[in-house]
Structure 1
Amino acid sequence: MTFDPNADISGGKVRRRGRTAGIAAGGVGVGAVLIFLVSQLLGVDLTQLAGGGTQGQTQQIGTGDQLETCLTGADANANIDCRMKGAAASLETYWTSEMPALGGAYHSPGFELFTGSTTTGCGAASSSTGPFYCPPDETIYVDTAFYDQLRSQFGASGGPLAEMYVVAHEWGHHIQNIGGIMTDHPSKATGAASDSVRLELQADCFAGAWAAAASSTTSPNGVRFLQPITKAQIADALNAASAVGDDRIQSASGGQVRQDTWTHGSSAQRQAWFTRGFGSGAKACDTFSVPAASL
């Protein structure tokens, strides 16, 4: 999926932070507790970041860059940071109209790109954390080096739509947060039919719904954000979803596939729910009313 070169992406709300140094946990405190809660809720293993360390100041190297030079779809096609800004602009436009149609009130998430490490409302994070959404500060955090890891470590085929699928998935968590879905389903249990898995599969479904609408969603200058999606690009997105399935990760790590420990769902489940959203829209993404056998 590529951007129309003339699309206006200037409204994408993305900031790139400078490299953070001197992160100190200072023992187990509020940050550690928040990290644990988010790990359990979203299935993202952040707990390793809440370990020991001495108390000290967090030093920010560089200032926040609003990516002001990323203005057009041509910029998004040429540069990964601009592509993230373009994805944000497209997702913002989509959810501004889609969430009211679902009966909710929409407001934007924060979206921050970082390199190496950063501080968040959920505590400290590093590039090894992977992309995640932090409910306390309603912000998506992405180290774009993850996309290289997605190809090299997880075996994904990559591609622009696969990269934007990751952003759309995390944006889906924001929709769950502000829509009260996370509050209504607070269970932190694991397992193939757990609320943790259902939250992740719903975020995949929301990502699919956005992808289907993206090539008809227009930017502020009336030009469509994205060119029509191709079968190969859909395959890239499905491949990315498959690469981060719990069963695929457990098998790749040499361990036993144990459904009772799942937090994100199997490769097949993640692909199926992305496909459902792509084919039927966000209204078809109620993973919580589906029987366990049908997930």
Structure 2
Amino acid sequence: MIVVATEDFALYHALVSLLRDRGAVFTTVEPDAPLPERTSVVITGVDDGVEERLAAETASDVAVVVAGTAPEDDAETAARRAVEAAMTALRGEEGRTVVGVDPGTRPGIAVLVGDTVVSVFQVPLADAVALVRREVEDAADPLVRVGDGARLQSARIVNDLDDVPVELVDETGTTPYLGEGARGMGDVLAAVNIARRAGERVEGRAVDPTAGEIQRIKSRSRELSAGEVTIDEALARRVAAGELTVDEALAEHRRRREASDEAAESEENNPDDRD
């Protein structure tokens, strides 16, 4: 059983909410109170003194998870990390942490410890690598498995994870049939299946956009600007690489055009400045 023992109000409520969402069996006690007989894991805060008290009880075999050891963590982030660590300790397994990524403009991301899914996410492509790094930073031997679809987005994720072991996975058949009420879950469920499928270890992925992909991005820019603007190939390539959205590329195109127009107007108004 998990026991929550903290006087930190924000941390307490975040922990209780997460544990209820996970369906975990838990109870709460004051930090200085005796632990219930069936206690297996205690989640506590850095200032509660529980870890020190239990360390002095040499006969205790209770696992202690201290939430909030990272100074930058808010209560919710500290609670999430602590609950994941507590669930792993409760299972008593030493399963490897594997992160599955279903690439796209909003990748699905699933974190597994052993064969158990401990957390799932779906975030914009620009946030995916930072999230994956955050999820594996405390793992002893993490592995990231990235689906080989959505070639350009997949390449960006693989190449940006240059400090983490990465496998490229054949994602054929990883997206399940979505029945009633499951709409929008496909990318996350595909990420779970990708995490469970062995792939090929890679150090990077070099994929250039095809001429057709570049043309589709340029056409999309014209649609979004109501026929006013078509971005150039250089900007379209940056969109294909995930560096810019089409809207951002349009804004950059307009900024450049305005700067060029201002320069031309200044030259007309100041003919003496010409060489």
Report the TM-score, using the length of structure 1 for normalisation. 0.29
Structure with the larger RCO, 1 or 2 (CA within 8 Å, 6+ apart): 1
Name the larger-Rg structure: 2
Report the TM-score, using the length of structure 2 for normalisation. 0.31
